[in-house]
Amino acid sequence: MVLIIDGRRQRIKFTRPLLASSLLKLLGLGRERALVRRNGKLITEFDKVSPKDNIEVFTVGSQG
Amino acid sequence: MKCSECNADAIIYLAYSQKFLCGKHFSRLTEKRAGAAMREHAMVRGKKRIGVAISGGKDSLALLYIMHKLLGKDRRLKLIALTVDEGIGEYRSESIKRCNELCSQLGVEHHIYSFKDYAVPMRTLMRRRRTDPCSYCGVFRRWILNKAARELKLDALAVAHNLDDTVQTFLMNLMRNEPLRMLRFRPCGGISDSEEFVPRIRPLFAIPEREVLAYALHNGIKFHVGKCPYAHYAIRNHVRKFVADMEERYPGTKFALLNSYLYMLRSLRLDEVPDITKCRECGEPSTSGVCKRCILLSDALRK
Ligand SMILES: [Zn+2]
Ligand SMILES: [Zn+2]
């Protein structure tokens, strides 16, 4: 699936729902270093994301 | 997950306080913290004209948004936004657009100052590669902002330093053995109390960067997303990574560092800072005969 990281599209392999924290781990990001927005709403790292969701990741410390 | 304060969906988990918060309670907490910082450090007390330095990034636009929310109704007080255009091509033109949007949405007066009117644009300088871009950029930005703030007769200038900036700078000053520079980023004031320096205020100094980002996203603040193209030069990136790793392992590390900083700040004495004189070249305040901006400028322009 394709998700958006800091405004840029990135392809990532995941087929089943998983915790946002696991998604961040897949992306090599610690939970303190990013926020996840699912279908336009911020979620915590303990919430789940599914490949059907519209997922945006914002990393901390890279917005200038 | 549900909010620890109500039954709404949580938008963030704060590991250091083990709390889940919904948008409403999280925004309230963030605004409360900024308000407390302003009160406890007398940032706006008795002041009439307050500048807010905005770059178009999440921190400064969230700062303007919060200050407008907390102070906008106070008729004795006027908020004025200032932006420095460093001339870093697209990176800046995009972000200036975001500044304009928020200022007109909030009805805040906005002034833009361009590097090219005061110095050389970053692009030109980087072709010469004589100085570390971040130090050059920082020196010029501070010089322009101070001059502009004085010309606008501002009583204080708010800058968007968040908790991460504060602890990173604190650690960097420790590592470089430059304790007096710690005065420079104190919550209210700067390296000197000289009238030539418009005092800087930092209402976000105790708010983690991740939370400033969450605040901006949740409140629909449109900010510019993107790295400064020169940012990879900075040592700060190593320190940022180190602090983030520590916070992840030991939640609360950033607040502990902040409290150490505030404790040490109390024992630093302003009278140990060299006297402020006027720069021989530009007339702006300086701790040596010629200010840093003028030294860098003449170096950049040397053939
Ligand atoms: Zn709530
Ligand atoms: Zn000078």
Asked if CATH classification 3.10.20.30 holds for the domain at A2-59, the reply, yes or no, is yes
Asked if CATH classification 3.40.50.620 holds for the domain at B23-270, the reply, yes or no, is yes
More confident call, B232 vs B244 = B244
pLDDT band, very low/low/confident/very high, at B54 (cuts 50, 70, 90)? very high
Radius of gyration of chain A (CA): 11
* Residue B28 tokens, joined: 């309230």
Give me the interface pTM, i.e. the ipTM: 0.95
Nearest CA in chain A to B238: A61
Q: How far apart are CA B252 and CA B246, in angstroms?
A: 9
| Residue numbers in A near B15 (CB within 8 A) | 31-32
Across the interface, whether the CB atoms of A63 and B9 are under 8 A apart is answered: no
The domain segmentation of chain B, as residue ranges, is: 23-270
pLDDT computed for residue B146 by the predictor: 92
* Residue B135 tokens, joined: 């130090």
Nearest CA in chain A to B160: A64
| Residue numbers in B near A32 (CB within 8 A) | 15, 210, 244, 247-248
What is the CA(B21)–ligand 1 centre distance, in A? 5
Residue B129 has pLDDT above 70, yes or no: no
Q: Which residue has the tokens 């997950």?
A: B1
Contact B205, B162 (CB under 8 A): yes
Q: How far apart are CA A35 and CA B300, in angstroms?
A: 40
DSSP structure class, residue B28: H
Q: How far apart are CA B63 and CA B216, in angstroms?
A: 9
| Residue numbers in A near B214 (CB within 8 A) | 35, 42
Across the interface, whether the CB atoms of A42 and B225 are under 8 A apart is answered: no
Average per-residue pLDDT for chain B? 88
B214 Rama class: left (phi>0) / alpha (psi -120 to 50) / beta? alpha
Contact A12, A3 (CB under 8 A): yes
Tens digits of residue pLDDT in A9-61: 999 888 899 999 999 999 999 888 899 999 999 999 999 999 999 999 999 87
Tens digits of residue pLDDT in B63-76: 999 999 999 889 89
Q: For B7-142, where are the E strands, in sequence order?
A: 12-14, 19-21, 49-53, 78-85, 109-114
Over residues B114-133, the mean pLDDT reads 66
Q: Give the number of whichever ligand sits closest to the CA of residue B142.
A: 2
The domain segmentation of chain A, as residue ranges, is: 2-59
Q: How far apart are CA B302 and CA B129, in angstroms?
A: 12
The pTM for the full model equals 0.91
